[in-house]
Structures are given as C-alpha cells and as structure tokens.
Amino acid sequence: MVDKIFEQTERIDKKIQDIQSEQKELNVSGKEDKYFENEEKIDHLKKLRSDLLDQCRDLTPEDHVYIARLSNRPHIKDFIGALFTDFFEQRGDHLCDEDEAIYGGIALFHKIPVTVLGHRKGRTVEENVACRFGMPSPEGYRKAMRMFKEAEKFNRPIITFIDTPGAYPGMEAEAHGQGEAIARSLAMMSHLKVPVISVVTGEGNSGGALALSVANRILMLKYAVYSVLSPEGFCSILFKDTSKKTEACSLMHLTADELYQNKMADEIIDEPLGGASFDPVTVYDELDRAIYRNLKELQKMSPSQLLADRHRKFRRI
C-alpha cells in the first residue's frame, strides 16, 4: 500500500531537513569533515527516497483513492493561484447563504476572463469544518449556478475543479432541497452557451461532483478518481461490509485511466511519482497547457455547437 511508502518518505524528508539545518551551522563553524559526511548522508537518503517513490509505479485503484484524498495535494486555491491571475472571489448564493465548500470567482486565464470555481476541502481543521470537508450544501450549488449564469451573460468560459466526497448528507441540506439544487445545476450546465472545462483534481464522488462537471471537456489528474459514490458508501450499499474497500475500489472503475477508457475523461494530466504533492509545479504546467489547448478549441465553437458537443458527450452514455 502506498501509505506505507509515504510514511517512509516523510520520515526521510524529516531526516534530510534535520541534517540540512545542521549543515548550515557546520558551514559557519568550519567543521568540514562532519560537513562532508553529512552531505553523503543526504545523498544516500535522497537515493532511498527515490527508490521508494519508484515503487509507486504500479499502484492499485485503492492507492489512487488514497493519493486523491491526501490533504497536501494541491487544492482549488492552489490551482487558482498557480494558473490564474487577478482573481476576484464571488461569495454566497445571493438567496440565503454562503457555502464555503464551493469556492470561486472571476479571474484571468492567459488574459482571458473566465469563471473559475470548484469544491474546497480546506487544509487546516478550522477550514475543514467550515467547508465540511468539501461537501456542499444546496446553497453551494445555488452559488455555483449564480456564477454559471453570470459567466454565460458575459460570455466567459467556465472552468471547474472537482474534489469532493459528495454532497453533504445533513438534515438542513435535505430541508433546503439538496436533490433539487443538484438537479438544477445539471440542467443548467447542460445548456450553458459558453465553453465548460472540468478538471477532476482529487476525488469526485456522486451527484455532488457531477453537479459541477457537466462539461465539454473533462480532464483528470492521473491519480484523481471519479465515481458513483465513495468506495466506503459503495461497500456499505452493495456488500453491507465496509472492510471490502480494496475490492470495491477495483470493481468501481474509478481511476483516471479507466474513465479515459470508458470515454468519460477526455484527457489525463500526468503527475509525478507519488502524486501531485511531490512536485505540484510540473502538474500546474501541464494542466495549464491542457486547459489552454482545450479552451482554444472550444472557443472556436458557436454557442449551439457548444451545446450540441456537451449534449453528445452525455447523451451517448
């Protein structure tokens, strides 16, 4: 399992860090022997680390799920920071509430004004709680819809980032029409007259993910997963037994490769060994190029062509 590998790489990283800080002091005090000894140690540790990451070449679907959920994986705010400029956050559904589980606004992408939004899980415990770990309420979907409508009005392309365990299963969410909100979002997205590109960056589970990904193009990071339900939920429904997660992950066909084969994902964005968190910049670069290329293609289409293109994508499934 990949988590064991990551435990070891983390320990090694910690050791390297410790030695490196020691090196700074040694450099000043002129203890050269010790200094060179330490340099050798670092080289050795780095070799160990890359050997460990080499083991990540052949991962199971369950490993993909694990990587997709890592909290140090790039999140929506990281992607917006890296790929867009002049971001202006839009908040609230302008009906009754603000839902932090959906984050987005207007920004420039290669000088093109776009609407960018997606699920937000948060990184600190406080953020996690405020965002309900990326599980939106109906207000979140209504906030997204308000942004979709505004984007359409000003003819801005829409880029969405998908990373959610699913829509929030709570009493208030039900009372406020979780199902209706998702349904409206699906219906609205299916008929947007502007290009829509969705990027599945982490886990995309159930209607909560689909509600933001009725797109012309669906890009998936290599270790991202997209499925009908969380593997845990799948187990409890189908097997009445949550210990069969490994089996469930394999049966669900949820990896980027499998979605690509099933013609649901249009493109896979490569990630470094071990996942995006080991070298986010290379992922930003590749994603940037992929979004740009797809956007240019879609911008050549008329509104009716865009609609027909999106309709075809979902109609044939």
Partner 1 sequence: MTEEYIDTDPFEMCKGCHRRSRRSQWESHYYVCPVCGKYKNVSAGYRFSLIFDNKSFKVINRGITSDDPLNFPGYKEKLRSVKERTHLNETAVAAVGKISGVKTVAVVLDSRFFMGSMSQAAGERITRAIEAADKHKLPLVIFSASGGARMQEGMFSLWQMAKTADAVEEFSRNGGLYISVLTHPTTGGVTASFATLGDITLAEPGALIGFAGPRVIEQTIGKKLPKGFQRAEYLYQHGFVDAIVERSELKKTLTKLLMLHGCKVTGGTPW
| 209 Cβ contact partners less than 8 Å away, ≥ 6 residues apart | 119, 162, 164, 166, 200, 203, 226
Q: Which helix (H) or strand (E) holds 238?
A: helix 231-238
Provide the token pair at 73: 């994986």
Q: Does position 233 bind partner 1 by CB under 8 A? A: yes
Q: Which stretch binds partner 1 (CB under 8 A): 92-100, 118-126, 254-262, 271-279?
A: 254-262
Task: 9-12: list long-range contacts, CB under 8 Å, 24+ apart.
Answer: 9/49, 9/52, 9/53, 9/274, 12/45, 12/48, 12/49, 12/52
Whole-angstrom distance, CA of residue 192 vs CA of residue 41: 57
- CB closer to partner 1, 64 vs 310: 310
Q: Which stretch binds partner 1 (CB under 8 A): 46-54, 81-89, 93-101, 307-315?
A: 307-315
Question: Considering only residues 169, 241, 242, 293, which one is a binding residue for partner 1 as defined by CB under 8 A?
Answer: 169
Which residues are 107's β-sheet partners? 114
Provide the token pair at 44: 């050795």
Provide the token pair at 284: 């930003």
Q: Is residue 97 classed as helix, strand or coil in its secondary structure? A: coil
Question: Considering only residues 65, 167, 194, 306, which one is a binding residue for partner 1 as defined by CB under 8 A?
Answer: 167
Whole-angstrom distance, CA of residue 101 vs CA of residue 130: 8
- CB closer to partner 1, 28 vs 171: 171
- CB closer to partner 1, 34 vs 191: 191
Q: Does position 171 bind partner 1 by CB under 8 A? A: yes
Q: How far is the CB of 174 from partner 1 (least distance, A)?
A: 5
- For 87-108, letters b (16+ CB in 10 Å) and e give eeebeebeeeeebbbbbbbbbe
Provide the token pair at 165: 């365990």
Q: Does position 175 bind partner 1 by CB under 8 A? A: yes
Question: Considering only residues 66, 226, 278, 284, which one is a binding residue for partner 1 as defined by CB under 8 A?
Answer: 226
Maximum separation of any 2 CA atoms in the chain, in Å: 72
Question: Considering only residues 95, 96, 129, 237, which one is a binding residue for partner 1 as defined by CB under 8 A?
Answer: 237
- CB closer to partner 1, 29 vs 243: 243
Q: Does position 315 bind partner 1 by CB under 8 A? A: yes
Which residues from 89-148 bind partner 1, rule CB under 8 A?
none
- CB closer to partner 1, 28 vs 317: 317
- CB closer to partner 1, 102 vs 189: 189
Query: Residue by residue, what is the 3-state secondary structure of 70-93?
Result: CCCCCCHHHHHHHHCEEEEECCCC
Question: Pattern of binders to partner 1 over 176-205, x per CB under 8 A?
Answer: xxxxx-xxx-xxxxxx--------------
Whole-angstrom distance, CA of residue 310 vs CA of residue 100: 28
Q: Does position 173 bind partner 1 by CB under 8 A? A: yes
Q: How far is the CB of 266 from partner 1 (least distance, A)?
A: 14
Question: Considering only residues 164, 201, 216, 227, which one is a binding residue for partner 1 as defined by CB under 8 A?
Answer: 227
Question: Considering only residues 162, 211, 249, 283, which one is a binding residue for partner 1 as defined by CB under 8 A?
Answer: 211
- CB closer to partner 1, 125 vs 171: 171
> What does the DSSP 8-state code read for residue 253?
T
Q: How far is the CB of 251 from partner 1 (least distance, A)?
A: 6
Q: Which residues bind partner 1 (CB under 8 A)?
A: 167-171, 173-180, 182-184, 186-191, 206-207, 210-211, 214, 226-229, 233-234, 237-238, 251-254, 259, 262, 264, 310-311, 314-315, 317
